[in-house]
Chains A and B, each alone.
Chain A
């Protein structure tokens, strides 16, 4: 067995030696080819202000060469001014293997790509020993280096400057406008004919929760989340508060709205007052139904938990955005036996809400709540617009997957024309 084992090892060694020899031969021949390839200055060097940026940046392009490999290196040379007496004396601002930095590696979409994908490209930016002043002319060139040999292309001039439009994000703008158009179209349609809305159990339960609170003679607790009024989820929560307040006014039930942000509190006071007016019960409105506690996360949580335990609200509404306090609030609420309805776009807190609340409005349902409760054509039409938008995204995902797969299978670039339009949408 030992002998056999040795024999196998011996065979393996022979195979390994063969591979090693072959690799040496290939490497040697490659080196010979490289050594035989004369090092010529990089061709077609172009430099220009990096488009669609805030300034302080230049981009250099040059053609690929026959000597491009890991052994050969490219250097980017920079100097201030238009005249360069000795290009060799220019400052080396970057050095990298010659088989790197191609246009295809950059994130430019096809409509802003400055050259074909096989061209070399390097973008100089302020920082890391480079200071590019907007409006100042710079001389730039590229040098090819192999061992002790160094050849430098003729320097070219470029001036960095800030731009007024980011053309790379035009796909984003186009799709935002398209989606806006779809929303307006859907609102127009909703004004002409009724649009079906699927049932949202969490919103159907709003009346049940308010009714239960009325029967028990206990208040309703409504929270608007952790963010301020600049956050859409807080605005959505404030809008829903208006609908809830209108019903609490009609049922003559107490409403408690503790806040973390004074501006949100002021806005919600106005919304609540208006809701009581619309319900025909302005005399029942209490100025301090909306009150400020603190902007500190856990102090607020402790205070609200205290309110839950002392006043024992019959229904708790958690609308808006939440963080670690979500479970502390909802678990305390669950322990008091209140009906709990949550609505949040904080996907990281959804599991806690789903676990501890009776009903949870997941993500977009928070934004749909206003439409569902009011049934106004503008609101319902917006919902239809969102649905069309989702169908569009679903279609793009499907087509994009097929095209990306085809692009790889056929080694084709044409799918990129479609894929780039939907890339980097943020």
Chain B
């Protein structure tokens, strides 16, 4: 049993890890075909895994409703919405429109899902303002530097700002292209090395906690 739970996954990881690392250096169409096939496999596995996810969702909210936990009404709304959408989706054959006419499923997507998603995204504007207010209060030297840099960049990125302070355009470009870009690249170099190191550890079985922890 331990062989199936430990050695086999590690062996699969080792072989596929080496094969797909090598694939990067093989331009032959056979290599590309292999990558395409595996990507499709992953999509198929992802599709099946969705069953796991949905069953988890149903289970968690069913328990909440059954036990009448705090906020169980939301779980009830979720059940109704999900089952309702599935029923309407089946009734519309999964199509949003037929012969240019919007189906009920399309209506749910376009007039419920899209506005709700848009609303969530729009809230971001207010959150940016509140976060900016908190961080731009010049309470420390670092915050003061952040505030000055932000003001210069903001002035330089809008026509009115550049009109009022002509130097702000060049200065903001310099901040973005020199200071900001160099720090970003430094972070990316660190991230890339971290990614490669983690990949090496996983491929060679030195990092196994993703299998469920343990060192055996």
A164 cross-chain contacts in B, Cβ below 8 A: 26-28
Contact between B117 and A324 (Cβ–Cβ < 8 Å)?
no
Residue of B nearest to A240 (CB): B209
Contact between B199 and A239 (Cβ–Cβ < 8 Å)?
no
* Chain B: number of interface residues, binned into ranges: 35 or more
Q: Report if A386-B193 is in contact (Cβ < 8 Å); known contacts: A239-B209, A239-B210.
A: yes
Q: Which of B160-191 contact A (CB under 8 A)?
A: 184, 187-191
Q: Report if A302-B127 is in contact (Cβ < 8 Å); known contacts: A239-B209, A363-B190, A390-B193.
A: no
Q: Smallest distance from the beta carbon of B66 to chain A beta carbons, Å?
A: 13
- Of the candidate stretches A145-153, A204-212, A285-293, the one touching chain B is A285-293
Chain B interface, >50% SS class: helix
Q: How far is the CA of A389 from the CA of B196 in the complex (A)?
A: 11
B212 cross-chain contacts in A, Cβ below 8 A: 270-271, 273-274
B71 cross-chain contacts in A, Cβ below 8 A: 310
B63 cross-chain contacts in A, Cβ below 8 A: 288
Q: How far is the CA of A232 from the CA of B201 in the complex (A)?
A: 11
Contact between A165 and B124 (Cβ–Cβ < 8 Å)?
no
Q: Contact mask B53-77 → A, CB, 8 Å, 1/0?
A: 1101101100100000011001000
Interface residues on chain A, number (Cβ under 8 Å): 84
B70 cross-chain contacts in A, Cβ below 8 A: 310
Contact between A331 and B198 (Cβ–Cβ < 8 Å)?
no
Contact between A235 and B32 (Cβ–Cβ < 8 Å)?
no
Residue B200, interface by CB 8 Å: yes
Q: Smallest distance from the beta carbon of B32 to chain A beta carbons, Å?
A: 7
Q: Smallest distance from the beta carbon of B171 to chain A beta carbons, Å?
A: 19
Q: Which of A280-320 contact B (CB under 8 A)?
A: 288, 290-299, 301-302, 306, 310
Contact between A232 and B198 (Cβ–Cβ < 8 Å)?
yes
Q: How far is the CA of A131 from the CA of B159 in the complex (A)?
A: 48
A324 cross-chain contacts in B, Cβ below 8 A: 121, 124
Q: Smallest distance from the beta carbon of A269 to chain B beta carbons, Å?
A: 9
B135 cross-chain contacts in A, Cβ below 8 A: 354-355
Residue A405, interface by CB 8 Å: no
A302 cross-chain contacts in B, Cβ below 8 A: 116, 120
Contact between B56 and A162 (Cβ–Cβ < 8 Å)?
no
Residue B12, interface by CB 8 Å: no
Contact between B187 and A367 (Cβ–Cβ < 8 Å)?
no
Of A55, A261, A290, A382, chain B has the most CB atoms within 10 Å of the CB of: A382
Q: How far is the CA of A266 from the CA of B24 in the complex (A)?
A: 29
Contact between B198 and A235 (Cβ–Cβ < 8 Å)?
yes
Q: How far is the CA of A274 from the CA of B41 in the complex (A)?
A: 28
Other-chain contact of A298, B32, B59, B116, B214 (Cβ < 8 Å):
B116
Residue A58, interface by CB 8 Å: no
Residue of B nearest to A345 (CB): B191
Q: Report if A327-B131 is in contact (Cβ < 8 Å); known contacts: A169-B25, A299-B117.
A: yes
Residue B102, interface by CB 8 Å: no
Contact between A298 and B117 (Cβ–Cβ < 8 Å)?
yes
Residue A173, interface by CB 8 Å: yes
Residue B134, interface by CB 8 Å: yes
Chain A interface, >50% SS class: helix
Q: How far is the CA of A354 from the CA of B120 in the complex (A)?
A: 22
Q: Contact mask A210-252 → B, CB, 8 Å, 1/0?
A: 0000000000000000001110110110110010000000000
Of B42, B199, B201, chain A has the most CB atoms within 10 Å of the CB of: B201
Q: Contact mask A162-182 → B, CB, 8 Å, 1/0?
A: 111110011011001001100
Contact between A262 and B184 (Cβ–Cβ < 8 Å)?
no
Residue A352, interface by CB 8 Å: yes
Contact between B46 and A263 (Cβ–Cβ < 8 Å)?
yes
Q: Contact mask A29-52 → B, CB, 8 Å, 1/0?
A: 000000000000000000000001
Q: Which of A249-277 contact B (CB under 8 A)?
A: 259, 261-263, 265-267, 270-271, 273-275, 277
Contact between A176 and B196 (Cβ–Cβ < 8 Å)?
yes
Q: Which of A372-417 contact B (CB under 8 A)?
A: 378-379, 382-383, 385-386, 389-390, 393
Known: A274-B212, A327-B124, A367-B197. 11 other contacts (CB 8 A): A176-B196, A232-B195, A262-B49, A263-B46, A291-B60, A293-B57, A301-B120, A327-B127, A355-B131, A390-B190, A393-B189
Q: What 7 A-B pairs have minimum CB-CB distances, sorted nearest first?
A: A274-B213, A367-B194, A262-B53, A364-B190, A292-B53, A270-B212, A298-B120
Binding site for B on A (CB under 8 A): 52-55, 162-166, 169-170, 172-173, 176, 179-180, 183, 187, 228-230, 232-233, 235-236, 238-239, 242, 259, 261-263, 265-267, 270-271, 273-275, 277-278, 288, 290-299, 301-302, 306, 310, 324, 327-328, 331, 345, 347, 350, 352, 354-356, 362-364, 366-368, 370, 378-379, 382-383, 385-386, 389-390, 393
Binding site for A on B (CB under 8 A): 21, 24-30, 32, 42, 45-46, 49-54, 56-57, 59-60, 63, 70-71, 74, 116-117, 120-121, 123-124, 127-128, 130-132, 134-135, 184, 187-191, 193-202, 206-207, 209-214
